[in-house]
Amino acid sequence: MTAPETAFAPELAISEWFNTPVPLTLAGLRGRPVFLHSFQLLCPGCVAQAIPQVQRIERVFAHTDLQVIGIHTVFEHHAAMSPVTLEAFLHEYRLKSPVGIDKAAEGSDIPVTMQRFRLRGTPSSVLIGRDGTILHQAFGVEDDIAVGARIAMALSAAPVQSAAAEDGTCADGRCAVSTPSVVTP
């Protein structure tokens, strides 16, 4: 399913990170395309299809500024999918990109990030553009060529300008045109 172009990606809610020295935020990654993949280590479709696809994406787009982030989104078999088990899984499957554990939601089996993105299950993926908008969201595994084409389009988008100009006319990527004052004698 394609998300509306104006839908900004909600922030991630992560309880623990792997494969990164510092916690990541989507706000901190603004200006870079982000490929989120949501998985569970006991999900057959994730292990057989989604994880190998993510490894191919990591290889093919390694020379770009694409940020791949895994979200371990546990909504069933909670006791079996502990952080210790996930750490062993990441080692065995040689997943190198950052992976966060989706934060548990109070009173619900559905974790916070899964709720925020309205994910229907695992595997799921979300492609976020340089400007922080959701470009595409999918449940299940899509064809490699379609995913690769979407990522290539996101990478080719113009960089986001978020710095203010010296004269203060630009803020948050929006620049106002200033007209010079007309001085009459």
CATH of the domain at 91: 3.40.30.10
pLDDT at 166: 46
pLDDT number for residue 69: 98
What's the pLDDT score for residue 81? Answer: 74
| Residue 153 DSSP SS3 | helix
Name the least confident of 37-46, 81-90, 176-185: 176-185
| Statement: residue 158 has pLDDT above 90 | no
Residue 6: which pLDDT band, with cuts at 50, 70 and 90? low
Number of domains in the chain: 1
Residue 177 belongs to some domain of the structure: no
Nearest-10 Cα torsion for 111, 9, 123, 1: 130
Model confidence at 139, pLDDT cuts 50, 70, 90, reads: very high
Using a 10 angstrom Cβ sphere, with 0-12 exposed, 13-18 middle and 19 or more buried, the burial of residue 142 is: middle
Q: What range defines the domain where residue 101 resides?
A: 14-160
Short-list 130, 97, 106, 134, CA closest to 118: 134
87 within some domain: yes
The reply to whether 167 falls in a domain is no
Q: Is residue 24 part of a domain?
A: yes
CB 132 within 8 A of CB 33: no
pLDDT at 75: 78
Q: How confident is the model at residue 160 (pLDDT cuts 50, 70, 90)?
A: confident
180 domain-assigned: no
Domain for residue 69, yes or no? yes
Q: How far apart are CA 45 and CA 54, in angstroms?
A: 13
* Contact status, residue 6 vs residue 137, Cβ threshold 8 Å: no
pLDDT band at 155 (very low <50, low <70, confident <90, very high): very high
Distance, CA of 173 to chain centre: 21
The rounded mean pLDDT for the chain is: 85
Residue-wise burial string across 151-181, b where 16 or more C-beta atoms lie within 10 A, e elsewhere: beebeeeeeeeeeeeeeeeeeeeeeeeeeee
- Mean pLDDT throughout 49-61? 96
Q: Would 5 be classed as within a structural domain?
A: no
In a domain, 140, yes or no: yes
Tell me which of 27 and 175 has the higher pLDDT. Answer: 27
Q: How many angstroms separate the CA atoms of 131 and 162, rounded?
A: 10
Residue 45 CB coordination number (10 Å): 15
